[in-house]
Amino acid sequence: MATTLIEKNIMLPMRDGVRLATDVYRLAGAAPAPVLVTRTPYDKEHTVVGGGGVAFDVLRAVQAGYAVVIQDVRGRFASEGEFNPHFQEGHDGADTIAWAAAQPWSGGIVGGFGGSYLGCTQWLAAREQPQALRAMASAVAPSDMYEGMAYQGGAHVFHGRRWAVVMAAEEIRRQVARGSLPPKREASLDVDAVLAHMPLTDHPLFHEYTPWYLDWLAHPTADAYWLPISPCAGYEQIGVPVLSISGWYDIFLSPTFQNYQGMRQRGGTDRARENQRLVIGPWSHSNFTGSFPEREFGPAASSDSFDLTGHQLRWFDRWLNEADNGVDQELPVTLFVMGVDRWRTETDWPLPDTHYRPYYLRSSGQANTLHGDGTLSTEAPGDEPPDAYLYNPLRPVPTVGGQVILPGANAMGPRDQRAVETRDDVLVYSTPVLDRPVEVTGPIELRLFAASSARDTDFTGKLVDVYPDGRAMILTEGILRARYRESATAPELLEPDAVYDLRLDLWATANVFLPGHRIRLEVSSSNFPRFGRNSNTGGEIASEPADQYRPAINRIFHDLSHPSRLILPIIER
């Protein structure tokens, strides 16, 4: 094995003079080589093997002939400046790419890699159109910093709040290490208490250590604040092929599809539009093993078995080394189909042969809990009474698994929902036991005809695979804050007790419901702490104290005039 030369803490000046700490990994004595760049807020010392939320082996990339540049972003760890998430990443990323291309050990051609925030730094740098950038491999990365990162369906997404707590905790640890804070300050940080604190804007942790999070709360609509930091606002400016990677239980699953589809439609060059690739595994935001406490997807499911590093290196070989390896001739979409637990390639996303089938919500008005009479049927309803429940924001439905990245009992991924389904404020609708397999692969929509006693409330939906032994395993879910039913930019409050036709985006899945299983839908009005609670007042939720929160009576209609339905993407082959 050739010797790897490591240059540490090169202080690289940006266009405004701020210097960013940069490490270079390259083969000693090698000819000038293409360069792979990643930029992290999580400490470059931890990004060599599998860092940044994606399985990518930096040392393997070096042995494959690449030079690798790893940098602490502005204001983090060894770098200078102030950290304001995403706002400087475009210019700083472009400056770093230009520097990497100009070094004597560089072949003048650059690729970007990394996941989560490290994926977003690539996209924002690409919007600046750096001349040397040729391709990217972006994993578990956002597309729109409003929809899917800070908010979803108008509701505040609490992984953003948790992330702000984590970033604050790191700053506290650094100050404790420097002696400027007492050790008890670090020990006293209670993440769960911070997540639950109300008003959301009132916790001193954010005011002192992460004031940028308060900006997120101050912009609850999709206004101009979010445009400079959202990759989706600049697809037309991005002219390179992108390999996009995510998992069915990733917090950025839907944004990954948006990046793939957006670049296919709006990418800045023919080469970009024609060379987008997508890999979706049975993974979460930080678990690429395919193994979860309540579900094993088999030996082929892990990123190691899939050789995710190898897939990315083949991608870079094609676009940075111009290798004739056939990558650009392969089918663009690779999916792991759950249920049958196997990989499959497809011609596009959504799958062109998708048939969207409505499953109608049915009951005699008693769909509350898994012991109620709610059903899912392919036959439209006739004259049926609505289902109703009391949503109390001070007693929210707890998050149990799913597309989350939360601590403790809220562990991510496939988890049994039966404990949730015993609550009176959860409506449960299930098909009869299936006598044949039903494949659901694609985006999922829930149409609800709903009314509330409040001026504003939330509605949630959850798709569940019910096993023969009764386990109810979550597949995907979504939410709509009712004031945003028509627009994410111009909210409108409800007229109490009026019936509205609501559309909920439940994101996507690829799952075969096997014979003996049932398809299930849960409907409620909270999913905490995945999403922030709606106070039901119609006011500014982020600044409202708990004593202003009010219960609401919410009703779901399913009759001839109000055919509430779950629209599933069915694949029949």
Residue 132 has pLDDT above 60, yes or no: yes
What is the average pLDDT across 529-545? 98
Record: fold of 4-147+225-346: Rossmann fold (3.40.50)
Confidence bin at 186 (pLDDT 50/70/90): low
Q: Which of 258, 571, 253 is nearest to 441 (CA)?
A: 571
What is the predicted pLDDT for the residue at 189?
74
Confidence bin at 363 (pLDDT 50/70/90): very high
What is the predicted pLDDT for the residue at 409?
45
What is the predicted pLDDT for the residue at 570?
99
User: Could you tell me which residues come within 8 angstroms of residue 402 by beta carbon, excluding any fewer than 6 positions away?
Assistant: 249, 412, 413, 415, 462, 474, 476, 477, 527, 530
Query: Which string of b and e fits 170-193 if b means at least 16 CB within 10 Å?
Result: bbbeeebeeeeeeeeeeeeeeeee
In DSSP notation, 457-523 reads: -EEEEEEEEE-TTS-EEEEEEEEEEGGGSS-SSS--PPPTT--EEEEEEEEEEEEEE-TT-EEEEEE
- For 54-70, the pLDDT digits (tens) are 679 999 999 999 999 99
190: DSSP letter:
-
Q: Who wins on pLDDT, 175 or 38?
A: 38
- Contact between 375 and 363 under an 8 Å Cβ cutoff? The reply is yes
Confidence bin at 169 (pLDDT 50/70/90): confident
List the catalytic residues.
116, 250, 285
What is the predicted pLDDT for the residue at 195?
86
- At the fourth CATH level, the homologous superfamily of domain 355-571 is Galactose-binding domain-like (2.60.120.260)
Residue 432 has pLDDT above 60, yes or no: yes
H or E, element range at 274: helix 270-274
The tokens 């193994």 sit on which residue?
Answer: 291
- For 467-487, the pLDDT digits (tens) are 999 999 999 999 999 999 999
Cα separation, 40 vs 407, whole angstroms: 22
Ranges of each domain in the chain = 4-147+225-346, 155-219, 355-571
Cα separation, 81 vs 407, whole angstroms: 30
Percent of the chain predicted with pLDDT > 90:
91
